Amino acid sequence: MSGPTYWDYLQLPSLLDMQRGLDSSDADVSVDELHFITVHQVYELWFKLIIRSMRLARDHLAQPRVSEETIPYVVHHLRRVNTILDLLVRQWRVVETLTPQDFLAFRDKLVPASGFQSFQLRIIECLMGLDESHRIRYGKVEPLDHIRKLADASPGGEVAWRSLEQARGELSILGALNRWLLRTPVQGTSPGDPGDDENVRAFLDAYLDRIDQNHTQQLHRMVERLGEDHRPHVEERFASIQDQARSFLYGLDVVPHEQDSARRIRAAVLFIESYRDLPLLSWPRLLLDMIVEFEEQMVLFRSGHARMVERVIGRRVGTGGSSGVDYLDKTASYRVFRDLWAIRTVLLPRDRVPELRSPELYGFVSTERQ
């Protein structure tokens, strides 16, 4: 037989010799420690594939002109990422077959190693677009600085820090997405077209008027069912929601020099979500759905991690010195694609959205506008 064997192609002898932890052979580690090492190595291998897929999706979305044919390619890679993350969320159940006593038997060998030091998970966060100012510290320790300091004294530190530094300097998926959304035709016009800003503002004004009308109808129904005594409270609540919707859609919640771009990006998201059944918007709305699902899976992954840790070791101090479960629970609050989540609060039913202008632009016809 000529050519490589299955074990040669996958380099199985080398791969299967990597589960020895700090010992000279995996024969020297308990079956429970072997379990722990194997599961976490599998996580890191999946992280490697997630990172490659994220970069491919990002690179295609970041092109100066994104053709209609490119969006399905981006969606394909994001769907793969989401499928992997779904698997990783369920994989916590495998970790949970480790009982507290099983883990405590070898836990001290890990100190000060910790999952907190997974530089590939930090790369995923960077490529998503997590603002470093939003990173949650444990105590006074800043996550990326912690990895940098450890890298100086670690055999694998150079690779870890170089990889992480590269990711920190790259365009994120959030950045590429916002560039793409900024160019999205809204009610028939794109940036640079005559009257585009006025057209976007008119669309937002019309949408806010429809939201107000919808709130008025909901108010009447609620008062009819709850009684007049509830009117002041319900009116106040709807007025607050309307003010928040206007502030969000017009970008009044961001610094002044970013308001114009924020307004147009959010108008594009609102437009795609509101008219998602139009042929030309079918793939863009699927792209937005994939990105929301991506972040949702990350939240589920973090929540699952916290519950697994709590189940196995309770609320002990983490092996890396963190607050353990408390720290992990806080990271589940991360939201990178905030606009995609926030837009759901202001969406209207299909039959109440403003009238579509230039509907012929959103049929199955290739366009140079995106």
Residue 2 CB partners (closer than 8 Å, separation 6+)? none
Bridge partners, residue 186, by sequence: 189
pLDDT of residue 108: 86
Structural domain contains residue 1: no
Place of tokens 């694609």: 337
User: How many domains does the chain contain in total?
Assistant: 1
Whichever domain contains 176, its CATH number is: 1.20.58.480
d(CA 119, CA 43): 12
Q: What is the pLDDT of residues 336-350, one digit of tens each?
A: 999 999 999 999 999
The encoded tokens of residue 19 equal 């589960």
pLDDT of residue 186: 95
Please, what are the averages of pLDDT over each run of 10 residues along the chain (370 residues)?
A: 89 95 89 95 98 97 92 97 98 93 88 86 97 84 85 88 95 98 94 96 96 89 86 87 94 96 98 93 96 98 93 72 79 96 94 88 58
Amino acid occupying residue 144: L
pLDDT of residue 364: 53
Q: What is the pLDDT of residues 271-288, one digit of tens each?
A: 999 999 898 999 999 999
User: What DSSP string describes 318-338?
Assistant: PTTSS-THHHHHHHTT--S-H
pLDDT of residue 226: 85
Residue 130 CB partners (closer than 8 Å, separation 6+)? 334, 336
pLDDT of residue 76: 97
The encoded tokens of residue 42 equal 């599998």
pLDDT of residue 369: 47
Structural domain contains residue 31: yes
Structural domain contains residue 216: yes
pLDDT of residue 365: 52
pLDDT of residue 367: 46
**Length reported for the chain:** 370
d(CA 354, CA 34): 60
pLDDT of residue 10: 95
Structural domain contains residue 190: yes
Residue 315 CB partners (closer than 8 Å, separation 6+)? 324, 325, 326
**Boundaries of domain holding 300:** 9-362
> What's phi and psi for 186, nearest 5 deg?
-115, 120
Structural domain contains residue 166: yes
d(CA 264, CA 268): 6
Q: Which residue in 278, 250, 290, 294 sits closest to 356, CA to CA?
A: 278
Structural domain contains residue 368: no
Structural domain contains residue 127: yes
| E strands, the chain, in order | none
Structural domain contains residue 125: yes
d(CA 35, CA 106): 12
Place of tokens 């502030």: 247
Measured between alpha carbons, how far apart are the two ends of the chain, in Å? 52
What is the three-state SS of 204-229? HHHHHHHHHHHHHHHHHHHHHHHCHH
Burial class (CB in 10 A: 0-12, 13-18, 19+), 343: buried
